[in-house]
Structure 1
Amino acid sequence: MQRFEEIHLPPDPVFPDELAELGFFVTEDDKIRVIESPGQAPRYKIDRNDRVNKVHIEALHSAIHRIIADRLTRMSMNPYPIPADGVAKSTAPVFVSDNISTASRIVVFIGELVEDLGLFSYREACDEGISFGSVLDLTKAVLGENPENSANALILANPGQRVWHNASGSPLTVESFRNRAQHSAVVRERPMSLRNAVESNTSLPEHTKYVFERILLPSLPLGVKVDIIGLSEGGYAALMYLKKNWMSWWPHISSIGLVNPEQVADVDFDFTELKNPKSFVSFVRERGRAWVLSSQPLGAREVGLGMHGCNCYSSGEDKRIACMVSRALAHIMAWANLMHSIPSLAEDIVVVEGEPNPSSKVISAMLGMDIDEDETTNGDEDEMPDNAILEGLEGFVNGLALKSNLVSFGALAADDTTEAGENKLVYDNDDIIDETPDGENSDDSDVTVVHDPQPSFNNIVTRQQPQYGEPEESPRHSRGH
């Protein structure tokens, strides 16, 4: 058998990881184009040798990711290592806003399993704009123009970078790990081992648990409420974690928004628990919403109630999952802001025309087990929200009915005290309506609503209910190039 010495093998291609050196630049509208041909976006295939293509695109991705990380840092978002014990040799960062300890509201975003921290898609970052293809617009929507003084804080989870690259001393996605420099262009792919494991970040459930219990929980002062936004696997992981630990978290989670939901209602939920207004299934039903791929206008009602166990709406995107959050961002944030500001708001469960099997057990349970008002009054009655808040909602929210007897838990009962980790979260909440959250989202001029036949907010109703206000991996697709 003929054997080639390593010195006779073709060298591995090497590319710089700076945009300009790669031949690209950022346009005025934030897109990435070729310097020699300003109308042309980056292409994956630049050579007949696919190894060259992979190493080149990895260098481009590294340059884009550095730009995004730098912009996030300038928005008062700083990397927080997982694990944070100062001893671990391999760590992965999450981004946490500077005001995490002083904010009155915390938003947690958990994205897809295949992407780098802060990315929806590198392709969309190139073609549609760096902000569009990343979490930059989401970060601005949560923190506003003045992040340091925002009433909202943000945690950006990092489920994708779970492989440790010993040569560079950095965490990577599986795809990036395969595309990093090697001894030659034809080296056989080496299997990953325990040396490549990122401690506390070896799987999506483990990462989600760490974010909730080691980052979010210690940052929960008395009375702070949490909104969850999850994309694909990230949303499913958050659901499964909360389902398992709901007795510890139910007084502190205000809402959960699921983009491209992956839960299967009749498998993941026990709908007999709808009889209990404090149950996790009741929370998802009343305070959860999903956005799905759809050719309908943004915010239109969509089928999926029987599949996912919550109301589903059009994301305004019909093809690419990576575009869904950016397309639907105004609706997602407007809805989350409302649910945070008015704890008595609940989703009105309606079966959409075209729903598969509308007589299924799931839909029957969702429609037929509404809790009587007398059974859900667990606290003192509050006065109607003041006119300033109602006026603030007018213009981008329609079809809301506010009742005079909004329910608040007040002081949690002794048997409802929560314990998770080392912190015990017990508080009195006398103000059921806080002012509209900080940032541009509180200004109706910055929220775009498409007034289609079934707009996003026309089907929210108020019910007397407990104040929520107190989660498996499945790689789906490549990163686009």
Structure 2
Amino acid sequence: MAPFRSKKLDLSCYVNIRNIRDHTKRKVYEKFESERQALRYIIRNTTLPQRARACIDAGKGRGVLVSTTLDLSIIKMFRLKSSSLPPDPEFPADLEKLGYQINEKDQIRSIKKPDQEFHYFISKNERVLEKQREAMDICIRNNLLPRFHASGLHTTRLPLTTGPLDPHIPILTTPNLSNAKRVILYIGENNQDLGILAYRIIGREGLAKGSVLDFAAAAKDTGNRIGGRGDGDIWDNNDTALVFANLGQLIWHRRGQKALSIRSWDALPRKTGVGAPLRLDAKENRVVGHENQTAHVASVFEFLKGAMAEGAKVDVVGLAEGAEEVLRYLDKAWEGWKGKLGAMVTGMGYNFPLDLEVGDQGFKEWIGMRARTYIIHPDPVGIPLSGRSLTGCNVFSSGESQYTECIIPKAHAAMLDFLKMAHEVPGYEEPMMRVNSDEDGGDRPLVSWVGGGQDGGPNITLSVRPLVDTQPVSGVVGEIEGETEGGVEGNGDEIVE
């Protein structure tokens, strides 16, 4: 303890060697207590990388390095070579070798236990879990990509001038984009791979339901078919085209020559099982025009300007971060897009405060007349909810009570039906709907419709109560007071359907 001993002692007691040693220890403890507590926190923080925790957690020390006050056993940890550290776990990107298969219901299930879903927690080692999950995700993507192409969803590289080995971001488009009268643009979350809506749904309900396959099939049915047979013919002769942006895979992997999500990037092979992830270079690992999600959304809209037919309308479906980026982009570029947009639907985990993000008054008015929001709520799909004062448009239940990523798989049919209605009905405007919050009491919120959009119309008050077995398509569906076969009785002869 001599190196730490104060040059001037501030002792008021009898001075002997024991008191001096005790005084020195107390001073040292006082000086390094905050650092000690910080290191203890790192050791116990399970959210940190294993290597960061391993380099600190060395157990009970048997000595102290004078210049750094580090435990000698910690110094030994820093001196370990890569060959003496645990290897990075490896899992084959093969469904059968992982012990799984796709059953007749399009579900991924265990080969040994056909009723068992994907088992994630096979180890307490976070790196093992991460690598196994990525191997399964690769299997899912490899299975879905040919199915995307077979259903008429082709891969388009952005920027358009890039080759297959050049840095690019892939998106999915249908072949009728250049002649369709209507384009549906989907922009999802920033943590999902191309064409994936929710791995959670894929694991539980099936690959088509958790990907854009079911979405695309529903969009075909809501499009105006001219004729033709087969998937390719249907798109070639369909008035509705689809574009799926890729907000999740914005990292360019030079060695693999492909775009990756941040989760796939972190799962790339490392030197050891406790090694740090590969360093992201702000220039080399990014694609020009798609450096971040804001730039990607802007680039996709610019791509649409040159790719879609003259006079075509764009309907937007946005989810979470994708919806927010769309709102911010259109707020700035409203003058150039206000005549080209048809309608918009957003999926949110909360009521998005429109006034905080959108400043253009014309865009705000358009949202109130031509947009809807579906939020996390346990009620059946399409039940009206409160929140218009925040979102600027009518709010509905998505039928999903927990996860934002599950909103589209559960509510896309209702969303597409609304977009179709807004496209086909000339001059359609959403009626202003005010819903009392659940705190006001009653079995269901009181719904007040004001017909005719912003210009007003017949005032009709409805009391809506959800029916569990009801499968609503759009608008208000449920048990309605004053209900008739053809609609809802209103003031005088007015009827709302």
Do the structures match in fold with TM over 0.5?
A: yes
2:146 alignment partner, one of 62, 70, 86? 70
Work out the CA distance in 2 between the residues paired with 1:239 and 1:188.
36
**Equivalent residues of 2:101, 2:108 under 8 A apart:** yes
Partner SS state of residue 192, structure 1 = coil
The amino acid of 1:79's aligned partner reads T
Matched residue, 1:54:
130
The amino acid of 1:341's aligned partner reads E
Work out the CA distance in 2 between the residues paired with 1:18 and 1:448.
39
In 2 relative to 1, CA 454–236 (structure 1 residues): closer, same or farther, beyond 3 Å? farther
1:349-428 aligned within 5 A: 349-354=432-437
Is residue 2:181 matched to residue 1:92?
no
Any idea what the Cα deviations from partners look like across 1:239-286, whole Å, max 9, x if unmatched? 111111111111110100111166312312348x3xxxxx21111000
Work out the CA distance in 2 between the residues paired with 1:370 and 1:23.
56
| Cα offset, 1:73, TM superposition | 0.7
In 2 relative to 1, CA 116–371 (structure 1 residues): closer, same or farther, beyond 3 Å? closer
Partner SS state of residue 25, structure 1 = strand
1:96-135 aligned within 5 A: 96-135=173-212
Any idea what the Cα deviations from partners look like across 1:175-227, whole Å, max 9, x if unmatched? 111111112212123432222223322211100000000x2111222221111
Partner SS state of residue 99, structure 1 = coil
2:418 alignment partner, one of 316, 319, 335? 335
In 2 relative to 1, CA 158–64 (structure 1 residues): closer, same or farther, beyond 3 Å? same
Is residue 2:101 matched to residue 1:10?
no
**Equivalent residues of 1:76, 1:148 under 8 A apart:** no
Any idea what the Cα deviations from partners look like across 1:426-467, whole Å, max 9, x if unmatched? xxxxxxxxxxxxxxxxxxxx9856831479x989x9xxxxxx
The amino acid of 1:14's aligned partner reads E
2:214 alignment partner, one of 124, 137, 143? 137
2:288 alignment partner, one of 199, 222, 236? 199
In 2 relative to 1, CA 134–236 (structure 1 residues): closer, same or farther, beyond 3 Å? same
| Cα offset, 1:33, TM superposition | 0.5
1:244 alignment partner, one of 332, 335, 354? 332
Work out the CA distance in 2 between the residues paired with 1:189 and 1:451.
50
1:452 alignment partner, one of 478, 483, 491? 478
Work out the CA distance in 1 between the residues paired with 2:279 and 2:351.
29
In 2 relative to 1, CA 110–80 (structure 1 residues): closer, same or farther, beyond 3 Å? same
Partner SS state of residue 317, structure 2 = strand
1:29-44 aligned within 5 A: 29-44=105-120
Work out the CA distance in 2 between the residues paired with 1:319 and 1:89.
39
Greater RCO (CA < 8 Å, at least 6 residues apart): 1
Work out the CA distance in 2 between the residues paired with 1:303 and 1:451.
16
Partner SS state of residue 61, structure 1 = helix
Work out the CA distance in 1 between the residues paired with 2:137 and 2:212.
15
Any idea what the Cα deviations from partners look like across 1:320-351, whole Å, max 9, x if unmatched? 21211111122111110010111311111121
Partner SS state of residue 351, structure 1 = strand
Any idea what the Cα deviations from partners look like across 1:92-143, whole Å, max 9, x if unmatched? 1001111111212111000001111111221210111112211111111123
**Equivalent residues of 1:12, 1:181 under 8 A apart:** yes
Matched residue, 2:53:
none
2:355 alignment partner, one of 243, 257, 266? 266
Find the structure with the greater CA-based Rg.
2
Is residue 2:102 matched to residue 1:26?
yes
| Cα offset, 1:162, TM superposition | 1.0
In 2 relative to 1, CA 178–327 (structure 1 residues): closer, same or farther, beyond 3 Å? same
Partner SS state of residue 434, structure 2 = coil
1:228 alignment partner, one of 301, 313, 316? 316
Work out the CA distance in 1 between the residues paired with 2:212 and 2:326.
18
The amino acid of 2:478's aligned partner reads D
Matched residue, 2:428:
345
Under a length normalisation based on structure 1, what TM-score does the superposition of the two structures give? 0.72
The unaligned stretches of length 5 or more in structure 2 are: 1-74, 222-230, 441-448, 457-461, 463-470, 491-497
Is residue 2:406 matched to residue 1:323?
yes
**Equivalent residues of 2:372, 2:395 under 8 A apart:** yes
2:390 alignment partner, one of 282, 307, 330? 307
In 2 relative to 1, CA 370–136 (structure 1 residues): closer, same or farther, beyond 3 Å? closer
Partner SS state of residue 282, structure 1 = helix
The amino acid of 1:210's aligned partner reads S
In 2 relative to 1, CA 355–202 (structure 1 residues): closer, same or farther, beyond 3 Å? farther
In 2 relative to 1, CA 116–202 (structure 1 residues): closer, same or farther, beyond 3 Å? same
**Equivalent residues of 2:351, 2:375 under 8 A apart:** no
**Equivalent residues of 1:96, 1:154 under 8 A apart:** yes
Work out the CA distance in 2 between the residues paired with 1:293 and 1:40.
28
Is residue 2:292 matched to residue 1:209?
no
In 2 relative to 1, CA 326–458 (structure 1 residues): closer, same or farther, beyond 3 Å? farther
Work out the CA distance in 2 between the residues paired with 1:67 and 1:338.
34
| Cα offset, 1:29, TM superposition | 1.4
Any idea what the Cα deviations from partners look like across 1:359-400, whole Å, max 9, x if unmatched? xxxxxxx99x97659xxxxxxxxxxxxxxxxxxxxxxxxx9x
Matched residue, 1:161:
249
**Equivalent residues of 1:166, 1:196 under 8 A apart:** yes
The unaligned stretches of length 5 or more in structure 1 are: 274-278, 358-365, 374-398, 400-445, 462-481
Moved more, 137-146 or 95-104: 137-146
| Cα offset, 1:43, TM superposition | 1.5
In 2 relative to 1, CA 32–371 (structure 1 residues): closer, same or farther, beyond 3 Å? closer
Partner SS state of residue 243, structure 2 = strand
In 2 relative to 1, CA 83–262 (structure 1 residues): closer, same or farther, beyond 3 Å? farther
In 2 relative to 1, CA 245–126 (structure 1 residues): closer, same or farther, beyond 3 Å? same
The amino acid of 2:296's aligned partner reads H
